[in-house]
Amino acid sequence: MTLLKTAMITALMGATAITAAPAMAKDLRIALQSDADVLDPDQSRTFVGRIVYASLCDKLVDITPDLEIIPQLATAWETSADGMAITMQLREGVVFHDGTPFNAEAVAANIARSQTLDESRRKSELESITGTEVTGEYEIVLTLAAPDATLMAQLADRAGMMVSPTAAEAAGADFGLNPVCSGAFSFTERVAQDKIVLTKFSDYWNADAISFDSVTFLPIPDTTVRLANLQSGDIDMIERLAATDLPQITGNADLTVDSAVSLGYQGITFNLANGERGDNPWGNDKRLRQALSHAIDREVINQVVFEGAFAAGNQSFPPTSPWYNTNFPVPARDVEKAKALLAEAGFPDGLDLEVQVPNTTVQLQLMQVVQAMASEAGIRITLASKEFATLLEDQTAGSYTASQIGWSGRVDPDGNNHPFVTTNGGINDSKYSNPAIDELLNDARIVSTTAERKAKYDEAMAIMLDELPRVFLYHEKWIWAFNNKLKGFVSYPDGMIRLENVTWEE
């Protein structure tokens, strides 16, 4: 099935390459919501940085919009029977922007860099790899400490981005000032907070699919101004259009909008056992958390705060995800049930709950709606609005009862759960601990077939939805708006902008 799909995609690529009109000198201008951080795939951590990489740095593998792993720089891969090794075949004839050839040695050097560079943020993503063995010019074997079903998804993101070993060696930790990868565009210039300019790389292995001479990314934080730039024609495409601005686009004949439900979630994280403040009714009694969940109408949140443009949600995966547990659909609001649970837990007259929330307009609106709905069930929410860095620090330190926070999401289902709810999870700010969850989520990393993994996540989700260390509220949608002349854009749930086969027709 996968093979067939890959073959079809490849055939399609070939077809469009032949029929594509002669490319005109066109600089594509894309407005981003914020400025990227350091442009080194091993050090980088921002979402917008990844959007730039989608044009700048190729990865070993990529994903389809349905989250299947497909070839990019690796053309085929095979996991050994015991799951302890992955053998990869690499694409031939690929060069980095500085002319360094791409081969198995380069992959080995990249993995070593991600694992050993002091500044690397990728260490935990690749920790299952214990060694690499170059078995041919274009063949490499990754040896693993234990079977790791999440690894290929990691290699479909920053951990799998290939940088030029020559350039990385020479620049060290300063690589990000002048990044050299092997993507469709090479780095030309960056002015902080102003622009990042990339130029078409003529030796790109898939150059026929690229029809822009250059691409310029401009950070424009204000949503109104981002849209105004698009309307005036100064910008060709914008990412993360505000849901409230959608009517302006649909009423404009020159503009198109496209969207995809993100991989992440937004919700309320509870403090169950993180320091002294975990010892409170909300942290001690799951019935209270269930009551809050019942008191909320998630569809109303979506309508009121996001004009219906996002997706209501109740799990760590959006309902559109293949990993969503369909036995637990987004529940309807049930105020009576909420009141009954409160009474059962010993609070027939209701009780107070302090929720910390980022001080941005949208998150405050969200929590005000939740506040109003919860009050009807007797839950008196007070909001502590904090600037994000402060909120995060308090959450890590356990200085909170409940925290409105989200997660940008990962391709592999592991990323949306394991770090948050396993006993030793790196960002388990709830300090939630349940041996059953630990076992299920650890096993889900090891078992190899998708069906087996899905069963583990389904089982874990049932427990998580009963104990509710996190109460999920909604899933953002990535909304792109662009000039009608831009053709062939495909939306992906990871929010990236892939320019292969995107064209500009005057």
Partner 1 sequence: MLAFFLRRVLIALPTIILISVFVFALQKLLPGDPLTVLAGEERDPEVLEFLREKYRLNDPIIVQYFTWAGNAVQGDLGISLRTNQPVTELMAQKLPVTIQLAVMSMLFALLIGIPAGILSAVKKGTVTDYVANIVALSGLSIPNFWLGIMLILLVSVKWQLLPASGYVPPGEDLWQSIRTMLMPAFVLGTALAATLMRHTRSAMLGVLSADYVRTARAKGLPERTVVLKHSFRNALTPIVTLTALLFGELVAGAVLTEQIFTIPGFGKLVVDAVFNRDYAVVQGIVLVTAVGFIVMNLIADMLYFVLNPRLRGA
Contact footprint for partner 1 (CB under 8 A): 35, 37-38, 40, 43, 45, 118-121, 123-124, 173-174, 176-177, 191-195, 218-222, 224-225, 228-229, 231-234, 387-390, 392-393, 396, 407-408, 419, 426-427
Task: State the minimum distance, in angstroms, from the CB of residue 114 to partner 1.
Answer: 12
Task: State the minimum distance, in angstroms, from the CB of residue 235 to partner 1.
Answer: 8
Task: State the minimum distance, in angstroms, from the CB of residue 388 to partner 1.
Answer: 7
Tokens of 96: 């980095």
Task: State the minimum distance, in angstroms, from the CB of residue 363 to partner 1.
Answer: 15
Please state, in angstroms and rounded to a whole number, the distance separating the CA atoms of residues 107 and 433: 38
Nearest residue (CB) to partner 1, 336 versus 506: 506
- Closest by alpha carbon to 504, among 30, 184, 13? 30
365: helix, strand or coil: helix
Nearest residue (CB) to partner 1, 129 versus 338: 129
Task: State the minimum distance, in angstroms, from the CB of residue 61 to partner 1.
Answer: 21
Task: State the minimum distance, in angstroms, from the CB of residue 377 to partner 1.
Answer: 32
Please state, in angstroms and rounded to a whole number, the distance separating the CA atoms of residues 74 and 61: 6
* Cα four-point dihedral sign 424, 428, 431, 434: negative
Please state, in angstroms and rounded to a whole number, the distance separating the CA atoms of residues 459 and 344: 26
- Closest by alpha carbon to 54, among 33, 36, 66? 36
Nearest residue (CB) to partner 1, 294 versus 475: 475
Tokens of 389: 């860095």
Nearest residue (CB) to partner 1, 363 versus 371: 363
Nearest residue (CB) to partner 1, 115 versus 290: 115
Please state, in angstroms and rounded to a whole number, the distance separating the CA atoms of residues 364 and 160: 37
Termini Cα distance of the chain: 38
Please state, in angstroms and rounded to a whole number, the distance separating the CA atoms of residues 26 and 199: 11
Task: State the minimum distance, in angstroms, from the CB of residue 27 to partner 1.
Answer: 13
Q: In which region does residue 172 sit, left (phi positive, over 0), alpha (psi from -120 to 50) or beta (all else)? A: left
Nearest residue (CB) to partner 1, 137 versus 222: 222
37 Cα distance to chain centroid? 16
Contact present, 494 and 479 (Cβ < 8 Å): no
Nearest residue (CB) to partner 1, 397 versus 490: 397
Please state, in angstroms and rounded to a whole number, the distance separating the CA atoms of residues 89 and 73: 9
Task: State the minimum distance, in angstroms, from the CB of residue 325 to partner 1.
Answer: 24
Q: Which residues make beta-bridge pairs with 479?
A: 259
Task: State the minimum distance, in angstroms, from the CB of residue 233 to partner 1.
Answer: 7
Nearest residue (CB) to partner 1, 40 versus 476: 40
To the nearest 10°, report the CA torsion of 229, 231, 237, 239: 70
Nearest residue (CB) to partner 1, 192 versus 332: 192
